Amino acid sequence: MPQPIEDPSRILRTRFEAAITAAFPEIPGPVDPVITPSRQPRFGDFQCNAAMSLAKQLGKSPREVAAAIAARVDLADVAEPLTDASIAGPGFINITLRGEALAASVMAMDSPGTLSDLGVTRDENPTTVVVDLCGVNLAKSMHVGHVRSTVIPDAIARTLERLGHRVIRQSHVGDWGLPIAMVTTRLMDELQAGRVLAESVTLDRLERLYRSAQAECERDLKGLEAVRRHGLGPKIEAEVQAQVETATEKFAGARETLLRLQSHDPATVRTWRLIYDVTMDACLKTCARLHANVTAEHTAGESSYAEELGPLVEDLLARGIAEPDQGAIVVRAEGLEVPCLVRKSDGGFLYATTDLAAIRRRVRSLGASRIIYGVDIRQSLHFRQVFAAAVKAGYAALPGGGVARLEHAAFGTVLGSDGTPFKTRSGDTAKLSDLLEEAVARARRVVDERSASLHEEQRALIAEAVGIAAIKYMDLSTDRTKDYVFDFDRMLAFEGNTGPYLLYALVRTRSIFRKAAEEGKDGGWRGSTIVIGEPAEKSLALTLLRYGQVVESVAETLEPHRLCAYLIELAAAFGLFFDQCKVIHAPDDTTRRSRLRLCDLTGRVLADGLETLGIPTVDRM
RNA sequence: GUGCCCGUAGCUCAACUGGAUAGAGCGCUGCCCUCCGAAGGCAGAGGUUGCAGGUUCGACUCCUGCCGGGCACGCCA
């Protein structure tokens, strides 16, 4: 009786590696046997693609090499014997699993209490990973772009957690600097004048104040110059002159506010704190509704680095890492055409300075050996600069030697149907909370129509999950670096490559147990023997077994769309199985139990995958 | 001007990091519910992977040059 096999491709890899070493001892070091699932059933279940590249090194013909490997490999317990026909094309070795071995593998991934956990292997050397996400700004509500900066890194964080790593989420909130000082100044004025009450400040109100504060600090110097150059008359010149003077005053006021904030002036800090609380309260609520794991404890705003920036630049200067340039301080690093600016000529700091401080803290205090930034792709140059500067400064150096992995998980822009960045009909940036509301409302209409028999409360819960799943799946399912078009109709289509389709597949895996119970046929399947007979069963089994490696590949590439594509494939394989293999009315008890177990396992992999992506699930819909 | 990214079916996107005849969904055509949820399944049509070279057993993938589009480029964050 063969030992339980967790994952055929892992077993095959070991076996083929051994065979290659045995056949060609002259090759130094371990060789990747290049085992992949076969794309087409007629090429078997798996294939070994190592012969072609080895042939080159060895100066032999690829088919000869393949034959030598095939002759040495020991597959008796897992696969059908290899024959001449197994070697195909330029040297592919096609492998067909034995039915019992395939079933044993599926049972192994479905055995609680062993190392097998749906086929996901926890990393033996868990690492501490910081995931930078969300990135909201004070006095601004979340917009479409924040779907991406929240959902993508949250999915990455969940994936790493699923693999056993220690993940620390960090929301690098824009809560400091001159723009924040401007709105703080403005709010203090409003409060003082009694035009607004502290208890009733809303984020909408803050957003309006933010805009007007920025506008009034904006000096129209170009306008003034134009007026003078073209001699538009003393009246216009006086008006523009007055604007510039007022703006200069306001600007100076904001600078003073920033200084008072930095020196912890109680009244100023109290107002700043009010802005902070109102903003974060609203944003964290939106994160919660998005089913994203972002809470107050993950917040590490720019303000928390404020005290470190001066000493940090001094440190860089003292060690010759940074140098003065035209009055400013810059870090030049190899491979960087543009130096990284860390202090302005007026003595102010920049966001690169804060990001450097953040890397230092994350590596030295939080113990991160990997830092992942879920930030807009337009900032890739910025991160290249900051990463290079951090490495040069030694801020990314790990205690045991080596350097922390610094990665920018960049994402593209959310576009409207016209191909330009997504806006509302009126041309404003669309608020995220409104978009979530509309997605849920649209889902609700469909649920009311199709699931009229369910209770009102159930329908509301289902619509919530379906709407959120639709938005999140849409965001996660394509290559994150590309732009995508935001389209309610497509994401809520409930068919094809969508979140709702996945939820539907999950619901079907579960509803069959309710139906089976009604007929008194739901017993005895737990721990029963899985039998793989029908092609649809085989296809489902092979798909199930890929789960663990897909999760690993997401952790490595930081590309959640791979998991999305996999889950759709799994749902499709289940759909075919469900269509072609009677479960409750299977020909015999053994088959029925085996199929019930496959339904249960499929449901748990779907649910686990969705949870790993951060997509909410439902039991029925 | 310099640098980065992207051009794949009518549309929206994949392609396991160089593997076999480039796959899904939408839309289109035709089937499958007295039978476990048809929000489903099956089949068909649809491609010179922007263009031209190169590297090699093998290229959507790597290299070079064009064409077309997007983005970013030290004193904003």
Write out the DSSP string of A12-33: HHHHHHHHHHHH-TTS-S----
Cα(A367)–Cα(A525) distance, integer angstroms: 46
Domain(s) labelled CATH 3.40.50.620 in chain A stretch across: 128-175+298-409
Say what the pLDDT of residue A221 is.
Answer: 72
| Positions 481-500 in A, CB within 7 angstroms of strand B | 481-485, 490, 493-498, 500
- The CATH superfamily of A432-613 is Isoleucyl-tRNA Synthetase; Domain 1 (1.10.730.10)
Name the residue with higher pLDDT: A489 or A393.
A393
**DSSP character for A498?**
S
User: In 3D, which of A419, A223, A395 has the Cα closest to residue A313?
Assistant: A395
Using 50, 70 and 90 to split pLDDT, how confident is the model at A418?
Answer: confident
Average pLDDT over residues A499-516: 95
Say what the pLDDT of residue A494 is.
Answer: 79
**Which nucleotide's C1' sits nearest to the alpha carbon of A55?**
B57
- Asked if the model's pLDDT at residue A223 lies above 80, the reply is no
- Asked if the model's pLDDT at residue A113 lies above 80, the reply is no
| DSSP-assigned beta bridge partners for residue A2 | none
**Which nucleotide's C1' sits nearest to the alpha carbon of A519?**
B36
**DSSP character for A472?**
H
- Asked if the model's pLDDT at residue A1 lies above 60, the reply is no
Using 50, 70 and 90 to split pLDDT, how confident is the model at A227?
Answer: confident
* A417 CA to centre of own chain: 24
> Which nucleotides in chain B lie less than 7 Å from some protein C-beta?
2-6, 12-17, 19-21, 23-27, 35-42, 56-58, 70-77
Burial of A400 from C-beta contacts in 10 A (0-12 / 13-18 / 19+): exposed
Report which residue is nearest nucleotide B20 when distances run from CA to C1': A89
Whether residue A620 contacts residue A507, with contact meaning beta carbons closer than 8 Å, is answered with yes
Residue partners of A442: CB distance under 8 A and separation at least 6: A467, A488, A492
A150 touches strand B (CB under 7 A): no
Cα(A449)–Cα(A9) distance, integer angstroms: 45
- Asked if the model's pLDDT at residue A115 lies above 80, the reply is no
Maximum Cα–Cα distance across chain A: 100
Tokens, residue A290: 């998005």
CA-to-C1' distance for A386 and B73, Å? 15
Q: What does the pLDDT look like over A560-591, one tens digit per residue?
A: 999 999 999 999 999 999 999 999 999 999 99
CA triple A167-A170-A176, angle to 5 deg: 170
Say what the pLDDT of residue A445 is.
Answer: 93
A315 touches strand B (CB under 7 A): no
How far are the Cα atoms of A23, A95, A578, A601 from residue A110, in angstroms, in the given order? 35, 24, 19, 7
Domain(s) labelled CATH 3.30.1360.70 in chain A stretch across: 8-97
Q: What does the pLDDT look like over A275-316, one tens digit per residue?
A: 999 999 999 999 999 999 999 999 999 999 999 999 999 999
Containing A483, the helix (H) or strand (E) segment is none
- Asked if the model's pLDDT at residue A353 lies above 60, the reply is yes
> Percent of chain A having pLDDT more than 70?
98
Say what the pLDDT of residue A218 is.
Answer: 80
A244 touches strand B (CB under 7 A): no
| Positions 28-87 in A, CB within 7 angstroms of strand B | 34, 36-40, 42-44, 47, 49, 52-53, 56, 62
Whether CATH 3.40.50.620 fits A128-175+298-409: yes
Residue partners of A456: CB distance under 8 A and separation at least 6: none
> Percent of chain A having pLDDT more than 90?
80
Using 50, 70 and 90 to split pLDDT, how confident is the model at A518?
Answer: very high
CA-to-C1' distance for A484 and B60, Å? 20
Whether residue A423 contacts residue A430, with contact meaning beta carbons closer than 8 Å, is answered with yes
Can you give A191-237 as a three-state secondary structure string? HHCCCCCHHHCCHHHHHHHHHHHHHHHCCCHHHHHHHHHHCCCHHHH
Say what the pLDDT of residue A51 is.
Answer: 94
CATH class, domain A8-97, is alpha beta
Average pLDDT over residues A140-159: 95
Tokens, residue A283: 């944003």
Say what the pLDDT of residue A440 is.
Answer: 96
DSSP letter string, A398-417: -TTSSB-EEEE--B--EE-T
Cα(A281)–Cα(A297) distance, integer angstroms: 13
How far are the Cα atoms of A139, A197, A199, A301, A548 from residue A277, in angstroms, in the given order? 10, 15, 11, 12, 41
- Asked if the model's pLDDT at residue A5 lies above 70, the reply is no
Q: How many CB atoms lie within 10 A of CB A498?
A: 21
- Asked if the model's pLDDT at residue A447 lies above 80, the reply is yes
A580 touches strand B (CB under 7 A): yes
CA-to-C1' distance for A49 and B49, Å? 24
Average pLDDT over residues A418-432: 82
Cα(A589)–Cα(A594) distance, integer angstroms: 8
Cα(A38)–Cα(A35) distance, integer angstroms: 9
Tokens, residue A531: 């039998």
Name the residue with higher pLDDT: A545 or A428.
A545
| Positions 195-224 in A, CB within 7 angstroms of strand B | none
- Asked if the model's pLDDT at residue A411 lies above 90, the reply is yes
Using 50, 70 and 90 to split pLDDT, how confident is the model at A318?
Answer: very high
Tokens, residue A455: 């209770």
Q: What does the pLDDT look like over A169-222, one tens digit per residue?
A: 999 999 999 999 999 999 999 999 999 999 999 999 999 999 999 888 887 777
Cα(A134)–Cα(A148) distance, integer angstroms: 8
Whether residue A70 contacts residue A82, with contact meaning beta carbons closer than 8 Å, is answered with yes
Domain(s) labelled CATH 1.10.730.10 in chain A stretch across: 432-613
User: In 3D, which of A398, A418, A415 has the Cα closest to residue A406?
Assistant: A398
Cα(A597)–Cα(A530) distance, integer angstroms: 7
Q: Classify each residue of A33-42 as buried b or exposed e, where b means 16 or more C-beta atoms within 10 Å of its C-beta.
A: bbbebbeeee
Per the document, the length of chain A is 621
Say what the pLDDT of residue A112 is.
Answer: 63
Q: Classify each residue of A556-588 as buried b or exposed e, where b means 16 or more C-beta atoms within 10 Å of its C-beta.
A: eebbbbbbbebbbebbbbbbebbeebebbebee
CA triple A502-A506-A507, angle to 5 deg: 115
Cα(A372)–Cα(A405) distance, integer angstroms: 8
